[in-house]
Amino acid sequence: MLSSTILAAAEPLSGAGWSIMLVSIGSVLTLVSFCLYKVLSLPPVDVEEHIKGPLEIDTGDTDETD
Amino acid sequence: MVAKTQQSDPEDGGRELWGTRIGVILAVAGSAVGLGNFLRFPGNAAENGGGAFMLPYFVSLLVIGIPLCWAEWTMGRYGGTKGFNSAPGIFSVLWPNPTAKYVGAFALLIPLIIYMYYVLVEAWCLGYAIKYLSGDLMREGKDPKFYKNHLFDFIGANEDGALFSPGNWPFLLTLLACFAFNFFLIYRGVTKGIERFCRIAMPLMVILALIVLVRVLTLGAPVEEDQNVVTGLGFMWNPVGDKLTDPQTWLAASGQIFFSLSVGFGIIINYASYLRKNDDVVLSGLTSSSMNEFFEVCLGGLITLPAAFIFLGPAVAGLTGSNFSLGFIALPNVFAAMPGGQLFGFLWFFMLFVAAITSSVSMLQPVIAFFEEGLGLKRHAAAAILGLLSALGCGFVAWFSRDTKALDTMDFWVGTFLIFILAMLQAVIYGWIFGIKKGDIEAHQGAHIRIPRFVQFMLKYITPAYLLVVFFLFCFYKLPSSDTLLTEIDAPSAKAIATGDVPEAVRETLAASEIEIPAESVVAGDLSTTLLVKKAAAGPTIVFIEPVNDKFGIYQHKAGQFEGILNSPVAFSSVCFIAVVFAFLLILVRIAGERWEQEGRFRTVEGSAS
């Protein structure tokens, strides 16, 4: 098995290799672009509406002693 | 576009929350993107049929990876809205049964143990980046043996305790710096620490990886005419058809998806618990998974192996079985021969360091969250106890550094075996206890895209069944030892081997299986006990001769994990160490459970549920 992998390795990218590489990379790029587009184009209101007080609220738990 | 950060929301009971939508996505993606994307994935693909590996890989992604991610995000946010951030608490909310909190202990053990050895590998990356910056690794370039010896010295692989020998303080300082940085981030909390860091680290990693990618794709053919970018890509992507029917290929693909997406680590469920009730989990989960795939397929798949092949040729096949050999031996050879190699070597290892730190910091958060809410500790007390515990484990792995035995043992039993267990438990809890109907309603609360209906059906039936099959295959192939017949030889050849004189034909046959027989390794004696031992890059290989009918067979012995534990005191101690840590966590979980009962936390949950 291993030797057959090595033999295939010495060859240039075949038609099947090109197809698999392009389909794999293309699918992932399409998916990540779609997701990022959706996330970044969402209105920020639903995040901001939760903010009821100052933007930097410190819980204070790192300042208190035990 | 994104709101500024906040650490807690009075409307949400003052609990700690993520600041921004993109922040939590980057944090989860940062947790998933690590060394596995750049080293494990290409090695796995090349060893398991190149392009043919991608079919089982994408099937695993669709059947177990993304569905389980959505399930973990959903369960985590649900637990968080009921007031719990740690897995024992979240599982108790999902499954109102006294056993549930103990199941959650797995989700503490896994990230904690993985952190203990992962931070060591992180220190290797930082150490190599510093060495490239200072030019140390370029001075004796173009000498393959130098990089192997250098790695073994650097990680103390030749002797236990070597890392603590006098004169090795630069590495110990590097390790200390990594440790301190992780705890600095965790001490600052999810928003000010993890989120803020990931919002810088993730884009930085993309930039660094793209610079290295452009360099690799414009290398041409610097060594041999037939060792160019196209043959390098062919080595990685050309399909070997018969591998598709090999169960080990499917096993490797499933393992890669698990390791890569951080499914079954107990991390996503903890991170998602810091979301608000109406924060989206479907789009966020899909985005973080797809970002991880971008790093793995688009960057890892185009950089590591093609670069190594261009400079090392088909010989690189002997290094794909080990992540460390590929990353820390093959690539330094490449950078030594590459124009501008010092700069690109630095960029590469610094990128690996950043990838490692976004992952390692995520391994601490589930445990610190448990210490805080389960034991009522303040952040600095929780960080101090966690620091001591993880330093103890890291010290154990660093001390038993010979052949990276402790690291490999922990990586197998926790970083692979227990991940399967926890993923299966989570799939059952989601599909059969929490319920897919409730899960579907919960997941779509505030969702910006819809999960296809069949995914819920898959989560109940197909995903657990697929996981179970993969788990049994995994146990079948990895746990017991096995002997493989390499070739048959006649009696005179066997006698010749026993006296140290290996016939050329036999030598060539064994070379096809990547086994070289140095004369001094032949243990002469009775023909049936003749041993030929070769220490390969991926680990020791034992070859022995035994009579087969009227001939002799040369067998390759592969030690299974059980044999590994029985034969190695270090491996045995590592497993005992894991068991002791687990027992300790179970006791803490019991204490936490009693505390929650006394405080009426579960009654509050029941009340809010009704």
- Report the SS3 class of residue B539: strand
% helix / strand / coil in chain B, to the nearest 5? 75, 5, 20
Q: Are the CB atoms for A6 and B314 separated by under 8 Å?
A: yes
The residue ranking higher by pLDDT, B405 or A45, is: B405
CA gap B574, B555 in Å, rounded: 30
Largest CA distance in chain B: 84
pLDDT band of B160, cuts 50, 70, 90: very high
CA gap B463, B178 in Å, rounded: 37
Tens digits of residue pLDDT in B284-303: 999 999 999 999 999 999 99
| Residue A43 DSSP class | -
Q: Is B16 on the interface with A (CB under 8 A)?
A: yes
Which tokens belong to B116?
């203990």
**Number of residues assigned to chain B:** 610
Q: Indicate yes or no: CB of B6 within 8 angstroms of CB of A57.
A: yes
- Report the SS3 class of residue B586: helix
pLDDT at residue A3 in the model: 36
pLDDT at residue B329 in the model: 87
Which chain B residue lies closest to A20 (C-alpha atoms)? B51
Tens digits of residue pLDDT in B162-172: 999 888 888 99
Q: Is A51 on the interface with B (CB under 8 A)?
A: yes
**Which residues of chain B neighbour A32 with C-beta distances below 8 Å?**
287, 290-291, 293-294
Q: Indicate yes or no: CB of B51 within 8 angstroms of CB of A10.
A: no
Tens digits of residue pLDDT in B69-90: 999 999 999 999 999 999 999 9
pLDDT at residue B520 in the model: 53
H helices, E strands: number in chain B: 30, 5
Percent of chain B with pLDDT over 70: 89
Tens digits of residue pLDDT in B350-373: 999 999 999 999 999 999 999 999
Q: Are the CB atoms for B74 and B439 separated by under 8 Å?
A: yes
CA B416 to chain centre: 8
pLDDT at residue A54 in the model: 43
Q: Which has the closest alpha carbon to B178: B396, B390, B471? A: B390
CA gap B43, B321 in Å, rounded: 6
Which chain A residue lies closest to B306 (C-alpha atoms)? A9
- Sheet containing B539-548: order of strands: B482-489, B551-558, B539-548, B531-536, B522-523
CA gap B205, B188 in Å, rounded: 22
In terms of DSSP H, where are the helices of B376-462?
379-399, 405-412, 419-428, 436-443, 453-457
Count Cβ neighbours within 10 Å for each residue of B26-49 and write b for 16 or more, e otherwise. bbbbbbbbbbbbbbbbbbbbbbbb
Interface test with A, best of B4, B287, B375 (most A CBs within 10 A): B287
CA gap B492, B485 in Å, rounded: 19
**Which residues of chain A neighbour B188 with C-beta distances below 8 Å?**
62
- Report the SS3 class of residue B556: strand
| Residue B437 DSSP class | H
Name which of A12, A29, A53 is nearest B230 (Cβ-Cβ).
A12
Q: Indicate yes or no: CB of A20 within 8 angstroms of CB of B243.
A: no
Q: Are the CB atoms for B417 and B106 separated by under 8 Å?
A: no
Backbone φ and ψ of B209, nearest 5°: -65, -40
Q: Indicate yes or no: CB of A62 within 8 angstroms of CB of B380.
A: yes
The residue ranking higher by pLDDT, B36 or A1, is: B36
Q: Which has the closest alpha carbon to A50: B449, B1, B18, B443? A: B18
pLDDT at residue B127 in the model: 95
Q: Indicate yes or no: CB of B58 within 8 angstroms of CB of A24.
A: yes
CA gap B371, B605 in Å, rounded: 20
C-beta neighbour count of B537 within 10 angstroms = 16
Query: What number is the average pLDDT over the span B197-219?
Result: 94
Q: Which has the closest alpha carbon to B328: B539, B125, B117, B173? A: B125
B536 forms beta bridges with B539
Name which of B11, B17, B286 is nearest A35 (Cβ-Cβ).
B286
Q: Are the CB atoms for B283 and B448 separated by under 8 Å?
A: yes
CA gap B414, B585 in Å, rounded: 15
Q: Is A48 on the interface with B (CB under 8 A)?
A: yes
Q: Which has the closest alpha carbon to B554: B610, B503, B608, B480? A: B503
pLDDT band of B225, cuts 50, 70, 90: confident
- Report the SS3 class of residue B553: strand
B539 forms beta bridges with B536
Count Cβ neighbours within 10 Å for each residue of B246-283 and write b for 16 or more, e otherwise. bebbbbbbbbbbbbbbbbbbbbbbbbbbbbbeebbbbb
pLDDT band of B9, cuts 50, 70, 90: low
pLDDT at residue A56 in the model: 46
Q: Is B317 on the interface with A (CB under 8 A)?
A: yes
CA gap B156, B7 in Å, rounded: 42
Q: What string of H, E and C letters represents the secondary structure of B558-578?
A: ECCHHHHHHHCHHHHHHHHHH
pLDDT at residue A52 in the model: 43
Name which of A2, A12, A32 is nearest B513 (Cβ-Cβ).
A2
Query: What number is the average pLDDT over the span B249-258?
Result: 88
Tens digits of residue pLDDT in B552-601: 888 877 888 888 899 899 999 999 999 999 999 999 999 999 999 999 88
Count Cβ neighbours within 10 Å for each residue of A3-14 and write b for 16 or more, e otherwise. eebbebbbebbb
Residue with tokens 């998933």: B32
pLDDT band of A66, cuts 50, 70, 90: very low
**Which residues of chain A neighbour B16 with C-beta distances below 8 Å?**
59
pLDDT band of B386, cuts 50, 70, 90: very high
Name which of B5, B8, B234 is nearest A11 (Cβ-Cβ).
B234
C-beta neighbour count of B311 within 10 angstroms = 24
Q: Does residue B2 carry a pLDDT above 50?
A: no
**Which residues of chain B neighbour A12 with C-beta distances below 8 Å?**
226, 230-231, 234
- Report the SS3 class of residue B16: strand
Q: Is A49 on the interface with B (CB under 8 A)?
A: no
Q: Is B514 on the interface with A (CB under 8 A)?
A: yes
Q: Does residue A49 carry a pLDDT above 50?
A: no
Q: Indicate yes or no: CB of B16 within 8 angstroms of CB of A44.
A: no
Q: Indicate yes or no: CB of A9 within 8 angstroms of CB of B235.
A: yes
Which tokens belong to B14?
């003052």
% helix / strand / coil in chain A, to the nearest 5? 60, 0, 40
Distance from CA of A23 to the nearest CA of B (A): 10
Tell me the torsion sign for CA atoms B126, B128, B130, B132: negative
**Which residues of chain B neighbour A50 with C-beta distances below 8 Å?**
6, 9, 11-12, 17, 276
pLDDT band of A7, cuts 50, 70, 90: very low
The residue ranking higher by pLDDT, B510 or B222, is: B222
pTM to 2 decimal places:
0.87
| Residue B280 DSSP class | -
Backbone φ and ψ of B240, nearest 5°: -105, 100
Q: Indicate yes or no: CB of B237 within 8 angstroms of CB of A17.
A: yes
CA A37 to chain centre: 12
Q: Please write down the long-range contacts of B203-208, taking CB distance under 8 Å and 24 or more positions apart.
A: B204/B354, B205/B33, B205/B295, B205/B351, B205/B354, B205/B355, B205/B358, B208/B347, B208/B348, B208/B350, B208/B351, B208/B354
Q: Does residue B274 carry a pLDDT above 90?
A: yes
C-beta neighbour count of B339 within 10 angstroms = 9
In terms of DSSP H, where are the helices of B400-529?
405-412, 419-428, 436-443, 453-457, 463-478, 491-498, 504-512
Name which of B12, B22, B314 is nearest A6 (Cβ-Cβ).
B314
CA gap B570, B583 in Å, rounded: 20
Q: Indicate yes or no: CB of A24 within 8 angstroms of CB of B297.
A: yes
**Which residues of chain A neighbour B260 with C-beta distances below 8 Å?**
none
Q: Does residue A45 carry a pLDDT above 80?
A: no
CA gap B398, B404 in Å, rounded: 9
Name which of A5, A39, A62 is nearest B287 (Cβ-Cβ).
A39
Query: What number is the average pLDDT over the span A17-29?
Result: 96
- Number of CB pairs, chain A paired with chain B, less than 8 A apart: 177
C-beta neighbour count of B461 within 10 angstroms = 13
Residue with tokens 């994104």: B2
Tens digits of residue pLDDT in B501-541: 777 777 777 777 666 665 555 444 444 555 565 544 445 56
Residues 203-242 of B with CB under 8 A from A: 226, 230-231, 233-240, 242
